[in-house]
Structure 1
Amino acid sequence: MAFLRLTKRSKRNHGLASVPATPPRGEEHFSTKRTVGKNTYFLTGPEDSAVTVVFVHGFTLAATQWQYQTEEIAHRARCLLPDFRGHGQTPQYPVAECSVDGAADDVYAAITDANITGPIILVGHSLGGMVSFNLLRRYPKLRKQIRGMVLIATAIESFSGKGTPQLLKLPVADDIRNAMEISPEEAQKLRSEFAALIAPTLGVTMFKNSGMSPAVKLHAQLLNSTPIETYVGFLDDLEKHDELAAAQAVADIPAVVIVGDKDDVTPLAQAEKICELMPHAALQVIPQAGHMLPLENPAVVNKAIAHFIAQ
């Protein structure tokens, strides 16, 4: 990990990169849209690339969260971006099927459908990091294709009692859990109420840069379009799910683990635990940065991905 000038499991604070001047765009930014089953995924970048970067988005997010990455990385490598179940352009799933296991199945299905047989760089943000661990634990044949992982503001231990579940434990969330039999109109009203309550907190909880209003708006839009079943299923799963059993599967994989020092969702201790279990991981702590690093601090994320592409 020479580009970081870090020893194994060491850390260094890095200065804030410039916030992008242009707001994130829609999925039309990606060159190809495909479906596998009822799931949607996107492809962009050169088809003859020697390496594919697989981007795994976070909870209530979607492939569109990676636009600042693909704008740069797609010039260097093929990019595959799944919208896993109940997110983005993939429709809602039953509550019982909204889980980390299910999301990992969706990512694997996209990789298989796109016929990605060469080297892979696996990039996961927040829930997407835990999904990435699950993917390599449950699909061991994929492991030999992985050349590196970029793990951003994520966890390998349970989120219980902190992070995302704590942030989303509002009274209306209990209403959502009990809303499975209500009409679509009432469901939309609840979802809108939920988004209206939580969206104002995104700027201070998820983002730590006052200039991030376009990215905050994108996150709020994605949050508001998330099906109720997705909230209920994934929140319940996240409160108890961990991927500590994936430690053996990822122990020898080179990785960059990136966390903001102001991240109130997946704090530094979570990143340090990942590095403890991944001896070939380097830890980057970004000062004055929050949870939404792909949008808030894209240059740091892009540099880590570019390092593995260059290898």
Structure 2
Amino acid sequence: MSTVGRILGTAGIVTGVVGAAAFGGVTAQRMAVRKYQAAQAALLTEPGADPGFEALPSDRTYSVDSWDGVALHVEEIGPLDAPLTVIFAHGWTLRLGSWHYQRLGLAGPGFGAPPPADAARPARRRAAPPAARLVFYDHRSHGKSTRAPEGHSTMDYLASDLRSVIDTAAPTGPVVLIGHSMGGMAIFTLAAQDPDLFAERIAGVGLVCTGATYLKPSELSKLLIVGGNPLVRVIKEVGSRYPAIFERGRSSNRDAVWMLTRSLGFSRKDVSGALVDYLDEMVSATPVEVIAEFLPTLFAHDQTAAVPALAGIPTMIVAGDQDRMTPLDRSERIAEVLPEAEIVVAQGSGHMTMMEDPELTNDALRRLLQRAADGVNAPRGRSARWSRAGR
């Protein structure tokens, strides 16, 4: 797909106007949507088939004030005295509910792992780690967080928000950061802003379907991001000044948007209609002005120089080989710079890999958390960091 096509495709997922054109008409989309949803309807009648999105309880809910006054919505599960705090940063147009399956699968002792099949055997195994404290938050202008002031929808501000969450939720002790898409980009930006924080406090990093740069260098050059690409600027200005036009497009072309959401978010043919509905609801709930405000910082994102700051920190890279939003090669480039990092590729999975293939994602993240816990508990070396950090 051409660079311009990628921009239009990405914008189309949330405008509906481009989505309708991209799929050749609303009528055909309605037929496709109805056919797909009819095939999925029977599955939702089975016991336990309802995933219960947004229905998971929290142990604690509060807000964190970023330095420019934005109130960030935060939800926690797990004990306050857990030896490890894990902070999750979601992607663009989403909210903390996008981590639904990680919230289910990683909570509890042993990072939520089920007992092995041979648990009854008297074999020698190390004791399962205690439960971690899982912290989820909504980015500024997303979910239940408040809107950012004009000009404050940038990657630098997202990184500052992440630092505010760390300072509030885990002012001392080891922290694992896990980011999806834009959330991973915020992690890289924070690493560039504060490498000492990563050297002293960060016990592990999980990167899900993300990259240190959104576009290839050649694409950046073509887009002339530094000078302000006209297409991106038009989308941003029209979306910010005339949101009603875009919102009407979304409303009148709902089926086209739904199909485009499915196409850009997921890849597998058997993906649950409930998953697509939930992703569609999250994207549709994000105001067009917010989507437009974040476009320039996403396309201009380039923190390749910050990747080495993760060297020596347990790092897990999870990617979908059919990701249309952040292609696999973005993850592979990170792995090339961090040869000690583990990279896990979900075959046939798209951009929402943590929802499309939650078991693979959770297994990979459990390994990351175990490595982080092992590093914290090591008698020498890296464990000295935690005493300096106030543990």
Deviation at 1:220, TM superposition (A): 0.9
Residues 98 and 229 of structure 1 are in contact (CA less than 8 Å); yes or no, is this contact kept in structure 2? no
Q: Quick one: which amino acid aligns to residue 88 of structure 2? A: F
C-alpha distance after superposition, 1:283-304 (max 9, x if no partner): 1111111110111111122112
C-alpha distance after superposition, 1:114-161 (max 9, x if no partner): 234111121111111111111222123421221221111111123365
Partner of 2:154: 99
Partner of 2:72: 39
Per the alignment, in what secondary structure is the counterpart of residue 117 of structure 1? coil
Partner of 2:237: 177
Partner of 1:189: 248
1:268 aligns with 2:324: no
Partner of 2:210: 154
Q: In 2, distance between residues paired with 1:139 and 1:146?
A: 11
Deviation at 1:72, TM superposition (A): 2.3
Determine which structure has the larger helix proportion and give its number: 2
Per the alignment, in what secondary structure is the counterpart of residue 217 of structure 1? helix
1:217 aligns with 2:277: yes
Q: Quick one: which amino acid aligns to residue 86 of structure 2? A: V
Residues 73 and 145 of structure 2 are in contact (CA less than 8 Å); yes or no, is this contact kept in structure 1? yes
How is 1:230-241 mapped onto 2 (pairs within 5 angstroms)? 230-241=290-301
Q: In 1, distance between residues paired with 2:362 and 2:56?
A: 21
Q: Quick one: which amino acid aligns to residue 159 of structure 1? A: L
C-alpha distance after superposition, 1:171-223 (max 9, x if no partner): 999566324345x7667435646876433212222112323221211111111
Per the alignment, in what secondary structure is the counterpart of residue 270 of structure 1? helix
Per the alignment, in what secondary structure is the counterpart of residue 344 of structure 2? strand
Residues 191 and 228 of structure 1 are in contact (CA less than 8 Å); yes or no, is this contact kept in structure 2? no
Summarize the Cα distance change of 1:288–1:181 in structure 2 as closer, same or farther, 3 Å threshold. Answer: closer
Residues 240 and 293 of structure 2 are in contact (CA less than 8 Å); yes or no, is this contact kept in structure 1? no
Structure (1 or 2) with the larger CA radius of gyration: 2
Structure 1: gaps spanning 5 or more residues: 1-19, 166-170
Summarize the Cα distance change of 1:199–1:91 in structure 2 as closer, same or farther, 3 Å threshold. Answer: farther
Partner of 1:4: none
Given candidates 295, 300, 304, the residue that maps to 2:355 is: 295
Relative to the length of structure 1, the TM-score reads 0.82
Structure 2: gaps spanning 5 or more residues: 1-47, 66-70, 109-130, 224-230, 375-391
Q: What is the alpha-carbon root mean square deviation over aligned residues?
A: 2.7
Summarize the Cα distance change of 1:195–1:25 in structure 2 as closer, same or farther, 3 Å threshold. Answer: same
C-alpha distance after superposition, 1:17-62 (max 9, x if no partner): xxx9442521653322111222211111121210011111001111
Q: Quick one: which amino acid aligns to residue 271 of structure 2? A: G
Aligned length: 284
Partner of 2:104: 71
**Taking CA–CA contacts closer than 8 Å with sequence separation of 6 or more, which of the two structures ends up with the larger relative contact order?**
1
Relative to the length of structure 2, the TM-score reads 0.66
1:59 aligns with 2:115: no
Summarize the Cα distance change of 1:181–1:206 in structure 2 as closer, same or farther, 3 Å threshold. Answer: closer
Partner of 1:13: none
Summarize the Cα distance change of 1:145–1:175 in structure 2 as closer, same or farther, 3 Å threshold. Answer: closer
Q: In 2, distance between residues paired with 1:50 and 1:145?
A: 13
Residues 322 and 347 of structure 2 are in contact (CA less than 8 Å); yes or no, is this contact kept in structure 1? yes
Partner of 1:6: none
Per the alignment, in what secondary structure is the counterpart of residue 354 of structure 2? helix
Q: In 2, distance between residues paired with 1:154 and 1:233?
A: 20
Deviation at 1:90, TM superposition (A): 0.7
Partner of 1:168: none
Partner of 2:166: 111
Residues 86 and 177 of structure 2 are in contact (CA less than 8 Å); yes or no, is this contact kept in structure 1? yes
Per the alignment, in what secondary structure is the counterpart of residue 180 of structure 1? helix
Q: In 2, distance between residues paired with 1:173 and 1:199?
A: 26
Residues 159 and 239 of structure 1 are in contact (CA less than 8 Å); yes or no, is this contact kept in structure 2? yes
> What is the identity percentage for the equivalent residue pairs of Structure 1 and Structure 2?
30
Q: In 2, distance between residues paired with 1:224 and 1:196?
A: 12
Summarize the Cα distance change of 1:172–1:283 in structure 2 as closer, same or farther, 3 Å threshold. Answer: closer
Residues 266 and 352 of structure 2 are in contact (CA less than 8 Å); yes or no, is this contact kept in structure 1? yes
